[in-house]
Chains A and B, each alone.
Chain A
């Protein structure tokens, strides 16, 4: 599967260019620099120009390269007919080109950055890359020296390829060996592993998929159960996922609920009363002071009487609605306040009965 990138898989063009490069080095040093263009008696007598086939005259400059000779005006780029800048040329199918035209005509462009590639070319996925441009399309890690895996038309590193493949199969990739976990992974510090890469912290036995993590260590299930795992205060079963610690007990996240509506708090604020937890709404409904007149939670000062509460400015005679203060004398009728003047207008029979009940009550 892994496709190595060495000389054997490099493109023919890549090989050719390496060859030419070597030749040019030699050429530069020995023959083709302008100051090395020389008059040579033997060439004058016997040689012909490799391009035009004519002989050389006295005083003619002769270019000598690779055992061939040229008139200087004939030793030019096959494309632009200009002499080679710096004497550097590239040869392809028997023709010589200046560096510029060789690049334009034959050199590969990098699939990523679009620039010509001079030096090592990576040929992969029917395209060419600079070695440094050839990177994993998921993690951007370099691939030129490690090789790549073909995945849905993309070049990926081994790790990313394994993850992608596992994802497609609905499986995990081992964070240690990067192979797909065929069955039974364990989670450790949020990553999946083959269980057999680990041993139980307590007994040292090789772990299986039912191993458990606790405080950053891994344990086999037997040792884990012996360590006293938290028990949910609601369902009385051990808590192996996230633990909520509240009201002096442990809870499964989904079992820590409002004592009234039984909806889980899931991290939202809760209110405690008599060792029970309530959502904001029910806490106010049950324990907030709700004004008997306006039926709202009393926001400011509260007036309490007859097991009821009032907004201070809503406390009034229940008969005539006249406002009353803490100091106003009032009577109780069915656990509601009645001002003195209203009470005096009550039917005499009722007043006598109320007084009798009041006296009986206060005797107790």
Chain B
């Protein structure tokens, strides 16, 4: 390992690694670490000692939690945690200190709610929460001014916070994916015409009023889809 001190990229994808060796942090110059598609269940707590790491890919692993202090990476820009077993209680207290993040991938996990602290990630351009169990979104997402990609398809969402209307996700360099959710009819109707109509609609005072009425009534969230259960069966 010592001899590889100058290494800036390390790709260990498609191996059957069950853990990361502790002394990987001796690769002090590492900027990109790719552990895509392994069998990793836990991470060493000193992983955040990579002071130059910009891209960390841990997608398709078996993570149930992130270690304490994980949010201390000073320059991390892209974090991919797709297809793990993470939920809102898996995130360490300092997770949203990752203020340099510009892309956060959490698709195919088990979140039912998402922390309001996400609003602290002011550099975030891409937020992927595809195929989780989300029953609602924090309104703070609407305050992430740079956001240009939001993936929320395949959840249990029925309604969008009106604050999301502050986002501009309808241009050719933006993306809004929201299909496969049990949307209330008034949103579903707009979805059919196109995302720009959804955003126009949730900016209206009519919608703000309906949204308040709806959340006060606290309706039962939609049930989990059978398809998702299948994924758990596979693991």
Contact = CB atoms under 8 A, between A and B. Distances in A.
Contact of A334 (B14, B107, B231): B107
B6 interface: no
Contacts of A345: 14, 37
B134 to A, nearest CB: 16
Contacts of A320: 11, 13-14, 34, 36
Interface string A340-361: 0010011111100100000000
Contact of A349 (B13, B34, B230): B230
Contacts of B52: none
B105 A307 contact: no
B102 A319 contact: no
B172 interface: yes
Given A307-B175, A334-B82, A321 B34 contact: yes
A346 B37 contact: yes
A122 B230 CA distance: 113
A349 B82 CA distance: 14
A342 B105 CA distance: 18
A348 B83 CA distance: 13
A345 to B, nearest CB: 5
Contacts of A348: 234
Nearest to A352: B230
Given A334-B128, A334-B130, A347-B60, A295 B105 contact: no
A308 B11 CA distance: 23
Interface string B9-52: 10101100000000000000000101011000000000000000
Contacts of B14: 319-320, 342, 345
A357 B37 CA distance: 21
Contacts of A235: none
Nearest to A286: B173
B172 A321 contact: no
Interface in B62-85: 77, 82-83
A253 to B, nearest CB: 28
Nearest to A288: B173
Contacts of A309: 173
A335 B34 contact: no
B152 to A, nearest CB: 12
Nearest to B55: A293
B231 to A, nearest CB: 6
A303 B99 CA distance: 28
A307 B149 contact: yes
A335 B125 CA distance: 13
A349 B234 contact: yes
Contacts of A295: 77, 102
Nearest to A320: B13
A320 B11 CA distance: 7
A290 to B, nearest CB: 9
Given A308-B173, A350-B83, A335 B60 contact: no
Nearest to A322: B11
Nearest to B37: A345
A342 B36 CA distance: 10
A88 to B, nearest CB: 95
A71 B214 CA distance: 135
B203 interface: no
Interface in A223-241: none
A349 B9 contact: no
Given A345-B14, A346-B37, 15 more contacts: A295-B102, A307-B149, A307-B173, A309-B173, A319-B14, A319-B34, A320-B14, A320-B34, A321-B9, A334-B105, A334-B107, A345-B37, A349-B234, A350-B108, A353-B131
Interface of B: 9, 11, 13-14, 32, 34, 36-37, 57, 60, 77, 82-83, 102, 105, 107-108, 128, 130-131, 149, 151, 172-175, 227, 230-231, 234
Interface of A: 295, 306-309, 318-321, 334-335, 342, 345-350, 353
